[in-house]
Amino acid sequence: MSTPADNTHRSDHEHVAPVRPGWPEVVVGLLTMVAAILVLPFFGPWGLDLDAVAFGLVVAAWSGVGGLAGFTAAALIRLRSFAPFGVRRTTWRWMLAGVVGGLVALLVKAAVTVAVTTLTDFGDTNPQGMYYDAAGGGVVALALTFLFLAVLTPVGEEFLFRGVLTNALLRYGPVVGVVGSSVVFALFHGINIILPAALVVGVIAAELMRRSGSIWPAVAVHAVNNMALPLLVLFTGATGG
């Protein structure tokens, strides 16, 4: 038979705030990502001077590499399980929700992109032209572009921006956690036509992670969106222009 003391202890335990990443993890993770981005120019005209296909493949892979590096650096600050970062098993139902969320994000970001292009001059240049160069470089290059954009980048960026940043900001409430982390995620894509599209993807991915408690539905959202570009090249022969 339970005693009042037992019930009090159980109640206190049930209301303990979840363990989350903190500001040290956020700062170290994002700074590591920035450092990875700053390395990219060394693969361009001022460094190895790779051809367009090779450089496109490097850029396609680098977001995932930088994201995983940032996540690893953040996770190593305080050795513990990956669960506080949302790296935990989930259900197929939540994964299906991630796929559906990715399709919804594709439609919404297409509408937002058209609106922004109509109202601004952001559409005059394509900051993702190097991805088209990579995907159009032959069968092997196309396969690697799929791998880098639809697997490596979603895992790396989601582990950092949702696993570390969103989970850290959720201590201030769902709006700050979801919207705040999505704004930072979008800003990392630069002030260009990709920013509003990244914001849409970020909000949907972050909200699915918050509701499911797992990073994997967010990875599914991101993967569905990123595979659209190499598929466009595969079926239409589109280029960066």
Dihedral pair phi/psi, residue 18, rounded to 5°: -65, 145
**CA–CA gap between residue 36 and residue 65 (Å, rounded):** 8
Residue 241 lies in a domain: no
pLDDT at position 9 is: 45
User: Structural domain tally of the chain?
Assistant: 1
105 assigned to some structural domain: yes
Q: CA 96 to CA 215: how far, in whole Å?
A: 13
In a domain, 77, yes or no: yes
CB–CB of 200/229 below 8 Å? no
Low-confidence ranges of the chain (pLDDT < 50): 4-17
- With beta carbons less than 8 A apart as the criterion, state whether 219 and 95 touch: no
Residue 222, domain member (yes or no): yes
Alpha-carbon distance of 233 to 169, in angstroms, equals 37
Q: How many helices (H) and strands (E) does the chain have?
A: 13, 0
The answer as to whether 76 is a domain residue is: yes
pLDDT tens by residue, 93-132: 999 999 999 999 999 999 998 998 888 877 667 788 899 9
pLDDT given for residue 19 in this prediction: 80
Please report whether residue 189 resides in a domain: yes
Taking residue 100's Cβ as centre, other Cβ atoms within 10 Å add up to 16
Residue recorded with tokens 């990443």: 21
Per-residue pLDDT at 46: 62
Q: How far apart are CA 74 and CA 72, in angstroms?
A: 5
Domain span including residue 16: 4-236
Structure confidence at residue 41 (pLDDT): 83
pLDDT at site 27: 97
DSSP 153-174: HHHHHIIIIIIIIIHHHGGG-H
CA dihedral 165, 76, 220, 147 (to 10 degrees): 120
Residue 188 lies in a domain: yes
Please report whether residue 141 resides in a domain.
Answer: yes
92-99 own/partner pairs: CB under 8 Å, 24+ apart = 94/208, 94/212, 94/214, 94/216, 94/217, 95/216, 95/217, 95/220, 97/208, 97/212, 97/217, 98/208, 98/216, 98/217, 98/218, 98/219, 98/220, 98/221, 98/224, 99/220, 99/221, 99/224
